[in-house]
């Protein structure tokens, strides 16, 4: 019966097909697992690459923006800043050069941020050269404001009053900056190093212009003194003084500076000097005699005025002294350039407290005025 119906031959194929179906299903499941595993590996790899890129951008992006500031968006700090750093704004620096300096110092985030803030502030062009103490990581607009604030400047202010001699000026500089007087004298000995014009003939007396100067912390003796000689040249140039007259004008102005006590007397004293020079009369100026003897003008004696060996003795030597006797200010220079109209030949201060000064055209008038001085001295124990 089995042969007739072929039972064995029908059963075997059924078992074979079932086995193959199970094999195909297993293979499909394996392929699916492999595909899922590959997708996860790819996802993990993508995430790792993205994460690494983010880290690089965070660490390096600011550097690239700060160095060039050329990105599409302005990189700027949003905080008020912290710590401090000193930055130097050099003479003639443009806004872009300031930006580069501030970026390098860590003050602002990018040149683009600072340049934008600089352009937006109408006062920015008046930022002065100098050393500034700034916060780190400032907002760019705050950095511009800080550079405009004089209190941000790190410098010493040295005020040189009118009428001081060069030695007195050196002592003043030393007091404020602690630059040794020896260094200052060494700088004065090198006229080229301090920009002393040839018209001074190597002598800086009278050429250290009286004014208030900002002196940087790292300033040298030569750099400080150069500011003063440059200012003297600037004033003389601005007032239209011919260069070959620079020394003469400063010489006359120094005499006016040391003799005048009141502003209204300066042009009169300048006129007396011109009148005496025109008549070839000795100038008879005590302050010049005193300069040559290195003593106060009020301490000059009759014997001092008779000492012809003193080249600054204007009683015995005709004409102007060999050099200026002090540093004159603008008012005295103006007096020399525009002396008062008058025929005076003498002056004398008759009240040493108030500075009252009387002028005369004759010797008799002058002697009468001198007597008023003697009376004041007697009444005041001088």
Q: Which pLDDT score is estimated for 381?
A: 86
Residue of 129, 152, 130, 156 lying closest to 142 (CA atoms): 152
Q: What is the 8-class DSSP label of residue 339?
A: P
SS3 call for 136: strand
CB 154 within 8 A of CB 131: yes
Q: What is the 8-class DSSP label of residue 67?
A: H
CA 337/CA 190 separation, integer angstroms: 30
Q: Whole-prediction pTM value?
A: 0.66
Q: What is the 8-class DSSP label of residue 198?
A: G
86 bridge partner residues: 133
CB 224 within 8 A of CB 173: yes
What is the DSSP annotation of 232-278?
HHHHHHHTT--GGGHHHHHHHHHHHHHH--SGGGHHHHHHHHHHHHH
Q: Which pLDDT score is estimated for 47?
A: 58
CB 152 within 8 A of CB 146: yes
Output the six-digit token pair for 45: 């790899």
SS3 call for 83: strand
Walk along the chain (382 residues) and give the pLDDT tens digit of each residue.
Answer: 333 334 444 444 444 445 555 556 556 666 666 666 666 555 555 556 555 544 343 333 333 333 333 334 558 998 889 999 999 898 889 999 999 999 999 999 999 999 999 999 999 999 988 889 999 999 999 999 999 998 898 878 899 999 999 999 999 999 988 899 999 999 999 999 999 999 999 999 999 999 999 888 888 999 999 999 999 999 999 999 999 999 999 999 999 999 999 999 999 999 999 999 999 999 999 999 999 999 887 788 999 999 999 999 999 999 999 999 999 999 999 999 999 999 999 999 999 999 999 999 999 999 999 999 999 999 998 8
Q: Which pLDDT score is estimated for 41?
A: 53
CB 358 within 8 A of CB 269: no
Centre a 10 Å sphere on the Cβ of residue 370 and count the other Cβ atoms it contains. 15
């Amino acid at each position: 019966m089995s042969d007739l119906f072929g039972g064995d031959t029908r059963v075997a194929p059924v078992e074979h097909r079932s086995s193959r179906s199970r094999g195909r299903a297993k293979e499909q499941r394996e392929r699916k697992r492999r595909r899922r595993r590959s997708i996860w590996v790819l996802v993990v790899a993508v995430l790792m690459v993205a994460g690494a890129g983010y880290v690089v951008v965070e660490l390096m992006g600011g550097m690239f923006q700060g160095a060039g500031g050329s990105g599409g968006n302005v990189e700027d700090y949003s905080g008020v800043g912290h710590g401090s750093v000193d930055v130097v704004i050099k003479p003639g620096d443009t806004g872009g050069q300031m930006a580069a300096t501030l970026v390098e110092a860590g003050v602002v985030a990018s040149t683009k941020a600072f340049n934008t803030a600089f352009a937006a502030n109408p006062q920015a062009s008046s930022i002065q050269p100098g050393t500034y103490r700034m916060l780190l990581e400032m907002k760019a607009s705050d950095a511009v404001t800080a550079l405009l604030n004089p209190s941000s400047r790190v410098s010493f202010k040295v005020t040189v009053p009118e009428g001081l001699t060069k030695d007195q000026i050196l002592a003043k500089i030393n007091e404020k900056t602690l630059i040794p007087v020896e260094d200052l004298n060494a700088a004065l000995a090198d006229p080229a190093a301090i920009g002393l014009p040839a018209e001074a003939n190597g002598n800086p007396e009278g050429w250290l212009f009286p004014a208030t100067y900002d002196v940087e912390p790292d300033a040298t003796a030569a750099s400080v003194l150069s500011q003063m000689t440059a200012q003297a040249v600037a004033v003389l140039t601005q007032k239209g003084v011919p260069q070959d007259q620079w020394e003469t004008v400063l010489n006359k102005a120094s005499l006016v500076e040391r003799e005048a006590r009141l502003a209204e007397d300066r042009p009169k004293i300048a006129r007396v000097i011109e009148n005496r020079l025109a008549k070839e009369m000795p100038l008879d100026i005590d302050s010049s005699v005193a300069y040559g003897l290195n003593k106060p003008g009020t301490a000059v004696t009759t014997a001092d005025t008779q000492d012809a060996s003193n080249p600054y003795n204007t009683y015995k030597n005709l004409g102007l002294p060999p050099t200026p006797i002090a540093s004159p200010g603008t008012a005295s220079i103006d007096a020399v350039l525009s002396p008062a109209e008058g025929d005076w030949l003498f002056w004398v201060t008759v009240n040493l407290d108030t500075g009252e000064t009387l002028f005369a055209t004759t010797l008799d008038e002058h002697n009468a005025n001198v007597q008023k001085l003697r009376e004041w001295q007697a009444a005041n124990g001088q």
